[in-house]
Structure 1
Amino acid sequence: MDRAPARSTSPPPPRSRFWTTRRRDQLAGYLMITPQLLGFVIFVFVPLILVVWYSMHEWNVLAGTFDFVGGDNYQRLRDDPNLPGVLRATGLFSVGLVILNLTLALLLAVLLNQRLRGTVVFRTLFFSPVVVSLVAWTIVWRFLLQDNGGINGLLDSIGVDGPNWLRSGGTAMLSVIVVQVFKNVGLNLVLFLAALQGVPRDLYEAATVDGASRWRQFWRITVPMISPTILLTSIITVVGSLQVFAQIAVLTQGGPGNSTTVLVYYLYQQAFQFHQFGYGATLSVLLFLIVLALTVVQWQMRKRWVFHER
């Protein structure tokens, strides 16, 4: 009589758990980025889509009309006779601000990075305008730059007849640029100081032994080592220069003529003074494209001159 085959006594394979360690880590990561992602969607992505949608409409708030016009606003943008002057003023302001701000901030950072007495006081002094209210800062400078203001009072005391800084086409833009430079140079100054303090001192000592001058050390050691910070500050300054509004509104109101009417102020005039919100939205799209293009260009050029990207 044949025996029945023995049954296997090995335990069944364990069932895989759904909440594995990997899945719990992924869930924790998603939960951590959710607030930032929601903020981006609600306050950046959705408004951007709405601006593009509004730019295809003629929206008159006073009349209560909201009519679809397709690409008419973009056609108007192309034919706008004021737009070349506005873009010229915007470019002049941005170039002047970026050059003066970065140059002055780097120069001050190099000076304040020296081991001298009183540098902490000067660091605080240069950074303090950054935390001052922008409108308050601009109002004070408006009084200083008036025809009978403090600046011309100082010039008159030494026998110099100062111009009407904010009402002369040759000095209005320069005045706005200088006011903005003094307001925000402290931010770039702090960033440059942090970068300079991270440069190894051994490099300077080796260069000194090899006979390199201070100027050559600056260009061969300092600039390459802090080039990532230069990239960061340049992007921040360029984007900020294209978004300037309060300084123009308080100091010059776009004048004299349209010599200081930058793109953001022109957008404000069209949308909130002339109640042409559709065309204002079209100008917003143009501003977004300009900022995006300049940021991409700077980011792509980093491979040529940023030390750590080579």
Structure 2
Amino acid sequence: MASPQLKLKVAGRSEAGPATAGSGHAGGGRPFWTMRRRDNLAGYLLVAPQLLGSVLFVLLPLGLVLWYSLHEWNVLAGTFEFVGGENYDKLIADPNLRGVLASTALFSVGLVVLNLALALVLAVLLNQRLRGTTFFRTLFFSPVVVSLVAWTIVWQFLLQADGGLNGLLGAAGITGPNWLRGEGTAMLSVIVVQVLKNVGLNMVLFLAALQGVPKQLYEAAQLDGAGAWTRFRRITVPMISPTILLTSIITVVGSLQVFAQIAVLTQGGPGTSTTVLVYYLYQQAFQFHHFGYGATLSVLLFAIVALLTLVQWRMRRKWVFHEA
């Protein structure tokens, strides 16, 4: 039989056990800093800089542009008056807006078509295992890293009536036009200059996509008797369709934001034949000091870019081969 002292010791341990176990948590509940909350806090801290940058440099400027579009801000007179929707009424009644939008559409379509087509052709050619492909890849990509203003100024000298391009044509017995002052050549010149500047970026993206296409698909198609064009249309284009979608979105958005080329090469002329929406916005806000109307044009530009991007993204299931 157990002694009385041993019974007392066992009883004391059994009574003290639950009290000791319950003292590890406040009020007997779960600890506040659980593993899940720690992981969530770490995630929030990691995304905080990007989120703060988006708020300060994207959402806040967009909100201010919308706010300014409801006001008439005259910097010279020092006035800032709320006018409501008057700037939007002015936008609808603007007689120059239709021509500006037509020039913007012409520039965007020409740039996107030429850029993507040339980039894809160059990528297909440079994807071949031939001597010198590395040199040509570097050559075509080098304009991308060149200063935009410097590139445009050089082309401004080349495209003048007595510039280098007409000098080469004159040596061949051809009289070249005044490329930057002709109604039919000014827009074409701006488009070509921009295409040559940025085609290397899309070329590199297409080249990376082409190198990711499995060679077995081409070998199987060739054994079945498929020609080069059929292999390109049935294998290459579907397999690189995600890259085509990406480059088309990037190029469309970039074409709607062009400014430096217009400002340096043509200043919107001759007449208003090369006055695209961004340059017209610049004229209204910073040349004519109509900041409220300039902000309204900015809202219009944002709406156009957002709409086109949304349409392209919603159409991806028809364009992208393996999109669910």
TM-score bin (small chain): over 0.9
The equivalent residue for 1:211 is 225
Q: Any idea what the Cα deviations from partners look like across 1:241-279, whole Å, max 9, x if unmatched?
A: 000000000000000000000000000000000000000
The equivalent residue for 1:190 is 204
The equivalent residue for 1:252 is 266
* Residue correspondence of structure 1 range 131-146 to structure 2 within 5 A: 131-146=145-160
* Matches of 2:65 and 2:322, distance apart in 1: 38
The equivalent residue for 2:98 is 84
Amino acid at match of 1:218: F
Amino acid at match of 2:274: T
* Residue correspondence of structure 1 range 61-72 to structure 2 within 5 A: 61-72=75-86
1:37 to 38, 41, 51: 51
* Matches of 2:43 and 2:222, distance apart in 1: 49
TM-score (normalised: structure 2): 0.92
The equivalent residue for 2:6 is none
* Residue correspondence of structure 1 range 65-214 to structure 2 within 5 A: 65-214=79-228
The equivalent residue for 1:240 is 254
2:291 corresponds to 1:309: no
Task: Please report how far the alpha carbon of residue 126 of structure 1 lies from its aligned counterpart in structure 2 after TM superposition.
Answer: 0.3
2:303 corresponds to 1:289: yes
1:47 to 61, 71, 80: 61
* Matches of 1:63 and 1:224, distance apart in 2: 59
The equivalent residue for 1:269 is 283
**C-alpha root-mean-square deviation of aligned residues, in Å?**
1.1
Amino acid at match of 2:277: L
Q: Any idea what the Cα deviations from partners look like across 1:34-87, whole Å, max 9, x if unmatched?
A: 110000000000000000000000000000000000000000000000000000
Task: Please report how far the alpha carbon of residue 305 of structure 1 lies from its aligned counterpart in structure 2 after TM superposition.
Answer: 1.8
Identify unmatched segments of 5+ residues in structure 2.
1-10
Identify unmatched segments of 5+ residues in structure 1.
1-5
* Matches of 1:202 and 1:25, distance apart in 2: 44
Task: Please report how far the alpha carbon of residue 302 of structure 1 lies from its aligned counterpart in structure 2 after TM superposition.
Answer: 0.1
* Matches of 2:204 and 2:109, distance apart in 1: 22
Task: Please report how far the alpha carbon of residue 25 of structure 1 lies from its aligned counterpart in structure 2 after TM superposition.
Answer: 1.0
* Residue correspondence of structure 1 range 214-229 to structure 2 within 5 A: 214-229=228-243
* Matches of 1:31 and 1:99, distance apart in 2: 43
Amino acid at match of 1:75: D
Deviates more, 1:63-72 or 1:18-27: 18-27
Deviates more, 1:12-21 or 1:249-258: 12-21
Amino acid at match of 1:25: D
Amino acid at match of 2:246: L
Structure 2 counterpart SS, 1:307: coil
* Matches of 1:114 and 1:83, distance apart in 2: 47
The equivalent residue for 1:3 is none
Structure 1 counterpart SS, 2:81: strand
* Residues 245 and 319 in structure 2, CA contact (< 8 A), matched pair in contact too: no
Amino acid at match of 2:252: V
Amino acid at match of 2:230: R
Task: Please report how far the alpha carbon of residue 308 of structure 1 lies from its aligned counterpart in structure 2 after TM superposition.
Answer: 2.2
Deviates more, 1:271-280 or 1:15-24: 15-24
Structure 2 counterpart SS, 1:309: coil
* Matches of 1:119 and 1:254, distance apart in 2: 38
2:52 corresponds to 1:24: no
The equivalent residue for 1:279 is 293
Task: Please report how far the alpha carbon of residue 91 of structure 1 lies from its aligned counterpart in structure 2 after TM superposition.
Answer: 0.1
* Matches of 1:20 and 1:123, distance apart in 2: 53
Amino acid at match of 1:223: V
Amino acid at match of 1:83: L
* Matches of 1:215 and 1:87, distance apart in 2: 37
